[in-house]
């Protein structure tokens, strides 16, 4: 069991501060559960730099970053109609400094491995699903380059859609990997400008977004969701 000790917990506010404002959230953002977020862990090996991972340097860098991306320093609240908005009030983000009695090698290998066709086959086998059990594979697809015109640089809202394919567990297990790869490509190919705009219009006309909210139940056995972060520049991140 890894032992961890919290040394300090503080709230870092944007510096310089930004004027208070409210940001309206689009239907594609409001469709997500209010408490939905992705936890990301980034590990760095020590370097010869004297102030490597110095807490003061990190907090100063975070303050500057929150000034540029000021909605991240705000809070969610509801407007008069009950719709979620971002109150850009500059209250800041929590910064926790902690120490762990462990070696980085104990945590395993974190090298990126582009994946999306092999896991469904392995998971179907691991779950011992019946051969006639339908299983849904959901792939997260970005819409930056699929809309015409494309979204502008600096767009801050939700920019992903879900493409899904349903197949029998027996097919996924027994057929060659190319079968699943082909189905994934078919699902992604449907996500063109016309399809995406139709989905956006549907959410606007429907009014109530709650029935479509993304929940964990959608991804439990026998279903699976895959997101590829292979192209995200995590290894280029500079924390100051």
Q: What is the pLDDT of residue 109?
A: 66
Domain with residue 66: its CATH number is 3.30.559.10
Q: What is the pLDDT of residue 60?
A: 95
Q: List the domain range (segments joined by +) for residue 53.
A: 4-108
214 in any annotated domain = yes
237 in any annotated domain = no
State whether 166 and 216 are in the same domain: yes
238 in any annotated domain = no
The count of domains in the chain is: 2
Higher pLDDT, 238 or 129: 129
Buried b (16+ CB within 10 A) or exposed e, 147-181: eeeeeeeeeeeebebebebebbbebbbeeeeeebe
State whether 26 and 96 are in the same domain: yes
Distance CA 130, CA 220 (A): 16
- Note the pTM of the prediction, 2 decimals: 0.75
Q: Hey, which residues does 9 pair with through a beta bridge?
A: 96
The residue from 85, 108, 131 where one domain ends is 108
Mean pLDDT, range 40-59, rounded to an integer: 84
State whether 100 and 41 are in the same domain: yes
239 in any annotated domain = no
Q: Hey, which residues does 95 pair with through a beta bridge?
A: 10
State whether 100 and 129 are in the same domain: no
State whether 52 and 83 are in the same domain: yes
Q: What is the pLDDT of residue 83?
A: 82
Q: Is the pLDDT of residue 37 over 80?
A: no
Q: Is the pLDDT of residue 174 over 70?
A: yes
The residue from 70, 88, 108 where one domain ends is 108
| 12-31 pLDDT tens trace | 999 999 999 999 887 777 77
142 in any annotated domain = yes
State whether 127 and 222 are in the same domain: yes
Please name the residues in contact with 13: beta carbons below 8 A apart, sequence gap of 6 or more: 63, 66, 73, 90, 91, 92
Q: What is the pLDDT of residue 123?
A: 82
The residue from 59, 84, 108 where one domain ends is 108
């Amino acid at each position: 069991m890894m032992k961890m000790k919290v040394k300090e917990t503080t709230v870092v506010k944007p510096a310089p501060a930004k004027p208070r404002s409210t940001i309206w959230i689009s239907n594609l953002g409001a469709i997500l559960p209010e408490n939905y977020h992705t936890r990301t862990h980034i590990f760095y090996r020590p370097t010869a730099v004297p102030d490597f991972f110095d807490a003061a340097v990190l907090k100063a860098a975070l303050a500057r970053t929150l000034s540029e991306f000021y909605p991240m320093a705000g809070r969610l609240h509801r407007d008069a109609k009950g719709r979620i908005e971002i109150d850009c009030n500059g209250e800041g983000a929590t910064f926790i400094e902690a120490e762990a009695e462990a070696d980085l090698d104990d945590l395993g290998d974190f090298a990126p491995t582009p994946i999306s066709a092999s896991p469904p086959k392995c998971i179907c086998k691991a779950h011992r699903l019946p051969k006639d059990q339908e299983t849904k594979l959901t792939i997260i697809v970005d819409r930056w380059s699929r809309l015409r015109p494309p979204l502008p640089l600096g767009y801050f809202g939700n920019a992903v859609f879900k493409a899904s394919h349903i197949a029998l567990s027996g097919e996924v297990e027994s057929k060659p990997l190319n079968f699943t790869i082909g189905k994934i490509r078919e699902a992604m190919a449907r996500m063109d400008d016309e399809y995406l705009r139709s989905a956006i219009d549907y959410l606007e006309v429907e009014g109530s977004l709650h029935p479509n909210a993304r929940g964990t139940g959608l991804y439990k056995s026998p279903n699976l969701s895959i997101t590829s972060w292979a192209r995200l520049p995590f290894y280029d991140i500079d924390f100051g």
